[in-house]
Amino acid sequence: MPKILGIIGGGQLGMMLVEAAKSMPEHISKVIVLDPTENCPAAIAGAEQIVADFKDKNAIVELSLQSDIITYEIESGNSEVLESLKAPVSVNPSPATLRIIQDKFMQKTFLKENGIAVPDFLPIESLDDLKRKVGSFGYPILLKARRDAYDGRGNFKIENEGQIESAFRLFEGKHMMIEKWVDFKMEVSVIAARNTNDEIATYPVVENIHSENILETTIAPARIDSKIANDAEDIAKKTMEVLHGAGAFGIEMFVTHGNQVLINEIAPRVHNSGHHTLQSSDTSQFEQHLRAILGLPLGSTRLKHYAVMRNILGPKNFAGRYKPITIENQKGVYLKMYNKNEAKPQRKLGHINVIDVDDTRDIDALIDKAEKIRDSIKFEPLH
Ligand code: ATP
Ligand code: MG
């Protein structure tokens, strides 16, 4: 019997999950999303929608009554309410795992206790505590809000003593931690999945380039030697073994100059750095996530072709409705816009996948092509 899937969050990740679900009608008959924005991207893609806050208890319970399986595309869901939901509805990844991951300090403690390397970190209880502990790592250090951070908005880099107090004030009232600054040579990530039968699969490690804390470009595969790539994939597998629950996870890592691989953070959901899989891989991360939570055998994670994904962010000098975005038709180039009518500076509005369909393996040329296509896109107001 096909299942009804409930998703907490109906942004672009939910939208692409809905699209994947539509290609599996024998397994999923309907998708319902819970999202506060009316006509959210996932609803435009065909999901039914409950309009409510992600943490709204009544709305989550309502979603659970209408669904056979619940999953999420954001990590800020209400793990307590999710934990309290009763059978027959199942929630994956498990709410207990969500609870650990939601708090960066708990997450890093959990990883460290399981023998998985992370940057050095300490909890911060007060301004005095911060002043005392700041010296333990040497400048710069990162002050991080432990919860509800995204796109680097919960991070502040403290470069000297003079910045300690203002950094603390920025997150005052929130739980905080500090982290040693990692002078990494590359940021990489692995999309890993585990199904309800504990089968685990990892995608090849990819390289991520950020700009102003937001992912800009993903390069698949990462330009690192095979030894480091194997280490990263092994770390991802080990992480999946210790985390409970099924689903696709995005595991962000740093590669240090000494070739050590450290986990930066885990996203308990499909991840921006996995968007290339839509065309580059045997199985997209979205289908993989659905296979994982439905208890189906996981799909092949083989990279069919090298690929570069370039995010399309809202331009800095423009906000509001914009004319439809189009690009010239080219072999191996895929534009995906996210059904978001309103542009805002730095808002994720779409992405471009450039797939190496001719197998040139010329990554510089792929990056260059993606960059040129991005530059050709102009946002114009819609009157
Ligand atoms: P996201 O951008 O994935 O939504 P976020 O807001 O939760 O995540 P982090 O992933 O913690 O933030 O950090 C954002 C970026 O800041 C990282 O991708 C990395 O470039 C940089 N960063 C984070 N922690 C460190 C560190 N300890 N040392 C150096 N750079 C770091
Ligand atoms: Mg991150």
The CA distance from 207 to 188, in Å, is 4
Tell me, what's the pLDDT at 76? 85
Please state the φ and ψ torsions of residue 40, each to the nearest 5 degrees. Answer: -65, 165
SS3 317: coil
In a domain, 96, yes or no: no
> Do 49 and 163 belong to one domain?
no
Tell me, what's the pLDDT at 77? 84
Helix axis angle for 12-22 and 285-294, nearest 10°, is: 70
Tell me, what's the pLDDT at 136? 86
Ligand 1 mean position to 179 CA, how many Å? 10
Mean pLDDT of 245-266: 97
Q: Which of 91, 112, 129 is the last residue of a domain?
A: 91
Residue 314 has pLDDT above 90, yes or no: yes
> Do 206 and 297 belong to one domain?
yes
Contacts of 188 (CB under 8 A, 6+ apart): 205, 206, 207, 208, 222, 224, 232, 252, 253, 254, 255, 261
SS3 177: strand
Pocket test for ligand 1, best of 103, 150, 155 (most atoms within 8 A of CB): 155
> Do 8 and 139 belong to one domain?
no
Does any ligand 1 atom lie closer than 6 A to the CB of residue 208?
Answer: no
Q: What is the rounded radius of gyration, in angstroms, for the C-alpha atoms of the chain?
A: 21
Task: Please give the tally of structural domains in the chain.
Answer: 3
Please state the φ and ψ torsions of residue 126, each to the nearest 5 degrees. Answer: -160, 175
Encode pLDDT of 125-170 as tens digits. Answer: 999 999 999 988 889 999 999 998 877 789 999 999 999 999 999 9
Q: What is the CATH number of the domain that holds 161?
A: 3.30.1490.20
Tell me, what's the pLDDT at 245? 87
The CA distance from 67 to 55, in Å, is 17
Tell me, what's the pLDDT at 152? 78
In a domain, 240, yes or no: yes
Encode pLDDT of 37-58 as tens digits. Answer: 999 999 999 999 999 999 999 9
> Do 53 and 164 belong to one domain?
no
Ligand 2 mean position to 359 CA, how many Å? 30
In a domain, 160, yes or no: yes
Q: Which of 74, 91, 108 is the last residue of a domain?
A: 91
Residue 345 has pLDDT above 80, yes or no: yes
The CA distance from 221 to 257, in Å, is 19
Could you identify the atom of ligand 1 that is nearest to the CA of residue 179?
27
> Do 194 and 160 belong to one domain?
no
> Do 233 and 313 belong to one domain?
yes
Could you identify the atom of ligand 1 that is nearest to the CA of residue 144?
11
In a domain, 383, yes or no: no
Question: Where in the sequence is the domain holding 21, given as residue range(s)?
Answer: 3-91
Q: Bridge partners of 207?
A: 188, 219
The CA distance from 92 to 83, in Å, is 11
> Do 79 and 126 belong to one domain?
no
Q: Which ligand places an atom closest to the C-alpha of 142?
A: 1
In a domain, 100, yes or no: no
Tell me, what's the pLDDT at 266? 97
> Do 360 and 319 belong to one domain?
yes
Q: What is the CATH number of the domain that holds 299?
A: 3.30.470.20
Q: Bridge partners of 125?
A: none
Inter-CA distances, 290 with 159, 246, 360, Å: 43, 9, 32
> Do 260 and 298 belong to one domain?
yes
In a domain, 97, yes or no: no
Q: What is the CATH number of the domain that holds 39?
A: 3.40.50.20
Residue 318 has pLDDT above 80, yes or no: yes
Tell me, what's the pLDDT at 151? 77
> Do 245 and 316 belong to one domain?
yes
> Do 364 and 318 belong to one domain?
yes
Residue spans of beta strands (DSSP E) within the chain: 3-8, 28-35, 48-51, 69-72, 90-91, 121-124, 141-145, 155-158, 176-180, 184-194, 200-202, 206-211, 214-220, 247-256, 261-267, 307-313, 320-321, 333-337, 342-343, 348-355
Does any ligand 1 atom lie closer than 6 A to the CB of residue 152?
Answer: yes
The CA distance from 377 to 110, in Å, is 43
Does any ligand 1 atom lie closer than 6 A to the CB of residue 265?
Answer: yes
> What would the DSSP string read from start to end of 71-128?
EESSS-S-HHHHHHPPTTSEESS-HHHHHHHHSHHHHHHHHHHTT-----EEEE-SHH
Encode pLDDT of 257-305 as tens digits. Answer: 999 999 999 999 999 999 999 999 999 999 999 999 999 999 999 999 9
> Do 54 and 74 belong to one domain?
yes
Mean pLDDT for the chain overall: 96
Ligand 1 mean position to 253 CA, how many Å? 10
Could you identify the atom of ligand 1 that is nearest to the CA of residue 265?
10
Encode pLDDT of 194-218 as tens digits. Answer: 999 999 999 999 999 999 989 999 9
In a domain, 112, yes or no: no
Pocket test for ligand 1, best of 177, 182, 264 (most atoms within 8 A of CB): 264
At 381, is the pLDDT very low, low, confident or very high (cuts 50, 70, 90)? very high
In a domain, 69, yes or no: yes
Q: Which of 71, 91, 111 is the last residue of a domain?
A: 91
Tell me, what's the pLDDT at 19? 98
Residue 312 has pLDDT above 90, yes or no: yes
The CA distance from 194 to 33, in Å, is 23
